[in-house]
Chain A
């Protein structure tokens, strides 16, 4: 066998060293490999070297982190509820300054309060955006106020009970005994007469005031007064020495 073919065969065999070390070389390939290594000193030496390194790598120590690091991680995970509460109180400011601890707390929200309103608040804060949640909560409060408030009739109550002219026996019975029906009717007639009189006086007053203080007569009156004053003033100036 020529030297070049031996080198080629050795190169091919050395490529299979790792497969052999992994135990993946089987059958004829394994027999060929073992046979070649038994005859070739160079490949046997290479196999010993590869096996030695392989075993050395397997024996390399495993590294571990410090206990302080583990304690720090445990502490970070245990502080999540406190961080969560702080994050809710000052979300924007906290977000700027938060570190790894704050980021941890934000990821694991757990409801810390109990009760219906706490759950309602939790629902709004978790499921809905802030504005929508606030609007929904406000609407709920207003609806509760409307439902719970006492009903008040908005129609104005008459200050004086309407009295109809015909007084039935039942109505007459409700009138105090000090006034009889005839006196009440007379009083109402007098009241109506007084109201009519006041209305007439009001209309006359309005007419009188309107005629006296309309703009045109007032303007004419003012102009005539000014005209008289100006004539008299000019006469005095023309007569006297300047």
Chain B
């Protein structure tokens, strides 16, 4: 059981953390969410249908993120922002190095500003490439609902002025080169 649990961590850690990371600004908060999720996995190990382990993990992650955001809203926002800035300044991960790309940074910010479930579905499907079946199972939706939310999420992203500005800059520079 312990070995199977470790295998489950290795198999799903990236998906859990990615969903948390694109929902929260701080990597430390995402790690906290991941720890909370895997602790719950261990606690409920005997009761879980292990054929649906990934949807279960994604659902717990999704709920944990919602709880975390609610708790954070009740705290002093200025202190929270300061903590986030410090945490971001301290982190030098590969993830953040990639974020330094302007379009990637704008895209990540735009995704974080999406409401749920648009954000979760976009991250699950487009960022992580999960199947519709897993998304439906994890969010307790049917296929058409998932697709409607996904398309709306993409349209919301395209409506972001920062992203459009970045694209126009890239497009114009490409035209100049031609």
Contacts and interface: CB of A to CB of B under 8 A. Distances in A.
B24 to A, nearest CB: 10
A161 interface: no
Given A70-B9, A73-B35, A62 B167 contact: no
A223 interface: no
Interface stretch (A46-54, A133-141, A148-156): A46-54
Contacts of B111: 57
Contacts of A54: 126, 154
B150 A18 contact: yes
Contacts, number: 110
Interface stretch (B14-22, B52-60, B65-73, B78-86): B14-22
A41 interface: no
B21 A63 contact: yes
A64 B18 CA distance: 7
Interface residues on A, range: 20 to 34
B121 interface: no
Q: Most chain-A CB neighbours within 10 Å: which of B9, B22, B30?
A: B9
Interface in A69-89: 69-70, 72-74, 76-78, 80
Interface string B115-139: 0000000100011110000000000
Given A60-B108, A62-B128, 14 more contacts: A49-B167, A52-B167, A61-B95, A61-B104, A62-B14, A62-B15, A63-B22, A63-B30, A63-B95, A64-B14, A73-B35, A73-B38, A77-B5, A80-B2
Interface of A: 18-19, 22, 46, 48-50, 52-54, 56-58, 60-66, 69-70, 72-74, 76-78, 80, 100, 103-104, 107-108
